[in-house]
Amino acid sequence: MQFDAQWLLLALAPVFLACIGWEAWHLSRTRPRPASNAPLDSARYAWPDTLCNAALALMHQGADKLAWLVAVPVYAYVYRHCRLVSWQPGLVAWFALFIAQDLLYYVFHRASHRVRWLWAAHVVHHSSERLNLSTAFRQSLMYPVAGMWLFWIPLAMLGFTPEQIVAIVLVNLAFQFFVHTQAVGKLGWLGYVFNTPSMHRVHHARNARYIDRNYAGVLAVWDRLFGSYVEEDAHDAPDYGIVKPLASCNPLRATFHEWLAMARDFARMPDWRSRLAALFAPPDWCERHDALGLASVTAPATPAGTRYGVPENNTEGEFGSRNR
């Protein structure tokens, strides 16, 4: 009987839960419970946060199963009618698929920090102020609405079947479970090749020097190649979460808070150009719009090439998605 790749993450659930159990036990032995007035120990487990993560994971899995019902036929159509290459079964084909999907994941992940529509789904994953293995479960049921599945269409054009696409996407996500931990330090030369816990701790941090960095899925080379890599600094410990804290362990609030904020910003914009920017510009566009608009009240004139005090290309500043 052939294994359905769509069930891969659920099949690995016992492994994930065993690792979470080990990490919780290890942290309880190596990191004393802080006093009630002490700062948050972001590595330790807390029931409200962990249960929220678990609920989000179940919601995400349900949404993903429904999304594949739409995505797989699209991949199949593109594979049948638009593919550019036909692969012979074997290691070469799987290696090419792995490299191509991991690069596309980097593109998706970086876009999810630069396009507010995508960030509205991805912010769920960043909204906890803790980082442990259970944080990997913190996913959004809105990824299909945001359009994550569209990023894998080029794989069908490159000659990979829908079954292969689903399998490699889930393998990539399964690998990433293991980088959500503070129990593992730097891993030396492995960090030059693979995404590591140290590298991913930087990605989850809201420190100014870390924010919107290290987008790797499996391979670290893309961040080094495209200039988004930053090394974890022992003198600047990561501070986890989003710049405007969620301050809630309600999975529904975690899922929809940015979508609601985006809808409010869309509704209050004065014209369609700025409304579209509220949806698809960088996540901090509305705040910069408001700040520059307020400044223009006292300014003598708006500089040429801008509208409402915002640069026409909306690309000023690569980093800042968590300003929301």
Distance CA 28, CA 10 (A): 27
Cβ-count burial of 217 within 10 angstroms (0-12 exposed, 13-18 middle, 19+ buried)?
buried
Distance CA 110, CA 102 (A): 12
Residues of the chain with pLDDT > 70, as a percent, come to 86
Average pLDDT over residues 127-143: 97
Distance CA 324, CA 116 (A): 10
What is the per-residue pLDDT across 203-250, written as a single tens digit (0 to 9) for each?
999 999 999 999 999 999 999 999 999 999 999 999 999 999 999 999
What is the per-residue pLDDT across 39-68, written as a single tens digit (0 to 9) for each?
678 889 999 999 999 999 999 999 999 999
pLDDT value at position 289? 86
Angle (nearest 5°) at CA 18 between 8 and 189: 80
The pTM (predicted TM-score) of the whole model is 0.88
pLDDT value at position 291? 81
CA–CA distances in Å: residue 205 to residues 64, 132, 179, 220, 307: 27, 13, 14, 17, 33
pLDDT value at position 10? 79
Q: Is pLDDT at 294 greater than 90 in this prediction?
A: no
pLDDT value at position 312? 34
Q: Is pLDDT at 137 greater than 80 in this prediction?
A: yes
Distance CA 310, CA 307 (A): 6
Residues of the chain with pLDDT > 90, as a percent, come to 78
Residue by residue, DSSP assigns 49-114 as HHHHHHHHHHHHHHHHHHHHHHHHHHHHHHHHHH-S--PPSSHHHHHHHHHHHHHHHHHHHHHHHH
User: Where do the structural domains in the chain lie, given as residue ranges?
Assistant: 5-31+39-237+245-252
CB count within 10 Å of CB 236 equals 14
Distance CA 251, CA 141 (A): 10
For the chain, the farthest-separated pair of C-alpha atoms sits apart, in whole angstroms, at 73
Name the helix (H) or strand (E) containing 178. none
CA–CA distances in Å: residue 308 to residues 33, 113, 262, 271: 51, 23, 18, 11
Average pLDDT of the chain to the nearest whole number: 89
pLDDT value at position 41? 81
pLDDT value at position 220? 96
pLDDT value at position 278? 95
